[in-house]
Amino acid sequence: MFEIDKKKFGEFLAERRKAKGYTQKELADKLYVSDKAVSKWERALSMPDISLLMPLAEILDVSVTELLEGRRLEDAPKLDAGQVESLVKKALSLSEDSPERKRERMKKHAGIFGGCTLLALLELLTGLWILRRLGNAFFPVYLFVLEGLGFGFGVYFWFLAPRKLPDYYDENRISSVRDGLFSMNFPGLYFNNSNWMPIVKTLRVWSVAAMLSAPVPCFICALASGAWWSFGVQNALFFCFLLGMFVPVYIVGRKYGGGKGEGPSKAKRRPVLLLFLLLPVFVAGIGILGTFPSGSAVRVGYVSNDGLREWSARYRRLDGTMEKRIYPASGVGDYVIEVTTEAGALSVEIRDSSGSVIFNGEELPTGVYPVKLSGKVQVRVAADSHKGSFAIRPR
């Protein structure tokens, strides 16, 4: 009874847009929507959200009443209470999320998110299969943390996040959102119904981008550098992971936070697009970095235990010379040098604080070599295309 005539609305919208000299793209930019949305309005395939009625009317230089009626009302008399109520109900009908629309939206979201999740799972399984085929025992556990976070955020923002915040968000400066177990806080960014849906859409894109981009560098590093991944790249990846979420949200939230109906220019939209494009490239670049033989610092990781008393390293290929001080327990302690040599050569030399040689092993084969250490000692390791591992630890 109170439905808006979509055909009249679309024809009137197209007429007024052309009269104002706007293209569909220019009008879309002013309303924070896509030109496809404007095209659908004009073709009577869909209707704008109720929150867009006032800015749309202002841009087209018509009243909201004329917009809803789909015609100019030059000499129209004042509306009576019944007509006003009818127009209000028409406007409210735009914001209703009917079960049909909700099902259609959920079906679309399930297709996109489900497809990306399956692709990410395929990447994981392929990477694990490659590691197994190459005999690499290193397992990138940290990858599952990244994947789990991306999947968890994705489930919430694709299926569970509300489409509208309570009215008090528009009346106050609130920088956090709480919805059941979910809580999100962005200091300096204030949520309202002008920027909420753009933020939700941004985080939807981020969630699938994170799931799809994380496996590649993780498995590259697992193949190339073993322990170095555990102590270096995982932290860099996690930093990129968080940066890729927070920066776009801040940009989008501030851009849409005014709610004034003035859309962003193309130049303002570019940083967000570039961030999404550069995130997987940057993350993949970190992984690729591990494949280059750029010295021992890239090839080896250090494990300390109880006050830097151990030095262990595991790698796929190691070149160059490394030196490190380790501090055994007080008094003379029994230590072992454990070497695994699959290919290449590894030499280990240990000197005490006076410079005297305690241990000197050239081209050590796989084995365990006992040594007594005390005080501060200097360890020098020389590797020539060595594949395997070494460790110096208490017996």
**Using CB atoms within 10 A of its CB, is residue 206 exposed (0-12), middle (13-18) or buried (19+)?**
buried
Residues 115, 142 share a domain:
yes
Q: Name every residue whose Cβ is closer than 8 Å to that of residue 357 and which is 6 or more positions away in sequence.
A: 349, 350, 351
Residues 325, 367 share a domain:
yes
Q: With respect to residue 252, please indicate whether it lies within any of the assigned structural domains.
A: yes
Residues 232, 272 share a domain:
yes
What residues does 311 pair with on adjacent strands? 392
Q: Backbone phi, then psi, for 184, in 5-degree steps?
A: -140, 130
Q: With respect to residue 334, please indicate whether it lies within any of the assigned structural domains.
A: yes
What would you report as the CA-atom Rg of the chain, rounded to the nearest whole angstrom?
Answer: 31
Q: For helices 266-289 and 215-224, give the axis angle rounded to 10 degrees.
A: 20
pLDDT of 78 > 60? The answer is no
Distance of CA 49 to the CA centre of its chain: 28
pLDDT of 359 > 90? The answer is yes
Q: With respect to residue 214, please indicate whether it lies within any of the assigned structural domains.
A: yes
Task: Give CA separation, 239 vs 199, 203, 214, 245, 392, in Å.
Answer: 20, 17, 12, 10, 31
Quick one: DSSP state of residue 77?
P
Token pair belonging to 109: 């979201």
pLDDT of 307 > 50? The answer is no
pLDDT of residue 134: 67
Residue at which a domain ends, from 70, 95, 120: 95
Instruction: Look up the pTM and report it.
Output: 0.50
Token pair belonging to 231: 């102590």
Q: Are 283 and 213 in contact, with CB atoms under 8 Å apart?
A: yes
Quick one: DSSP state of residue 364?
-
Report the C-alpha gap between 345 and 173 in whole angstroms: 64
**Average pLDDT for the chain:** 76
**Using CB atoms within 10 A of its CB, is residue 144 exposed (0-12), middle (13-18) or buried (19+)?**
middle
Q: With respect to residue 294, please indicate whether it lies within any of the assigned structural domains.
A: no
pLDDT of 49 > 60? The answer is yes
Which domain CATH number covers 389? 2.60.120.380
Residues 72, 54 share a domain:
yes
- Mean pLDDT: which of 68-72, 243-247, 280-284, 348-352 is highest? 348-352
Percent of the chain having pLDDT more than 70?
Answer: 71
Q: With respect to residue 295, please indicate whether it lies within any of the assigned structural domains.
A: no
pLDDT digits (tens, 9 = 90+) for 256-294: 875 433 334 444 444 545 555 555 555 555 444 444 433
94 vs 126, which has greater pLDDT? Answer: 126
Residue at which a domain ends, from 95, 113, 145: 95
Residues 110, 90 share a domain:
no
Residue at which a domain ends, from 69, 95, 121: 95
Residues 267, 188 share a domain:
yes
At which residue do the structure tokens 């109720």 appear? 50
Residues 268, 131 share a domain:
yes
Q: Name every residue whose Cβ is closer than 8 Å to that of residue 137 and which is 6 or more positions away in sequence.
A: none
pLDDT of residue 127: 82
Residues 322, 280 share a domain:
no
Structural domain harbouring 60? 6-95
Residues 54, 115 share a domain:
no
Residues 57, 76 share a domain:
yes
Q: Are 216 and 123 in contact, with CB atoms under 8 Å apart?
A: yes
Residues 169, 83 share a domain:
no
Token pair belonging to 312: 């262990």
Provide the domain count of the chain: 3
Residues 190, 109 share a domain:
yes
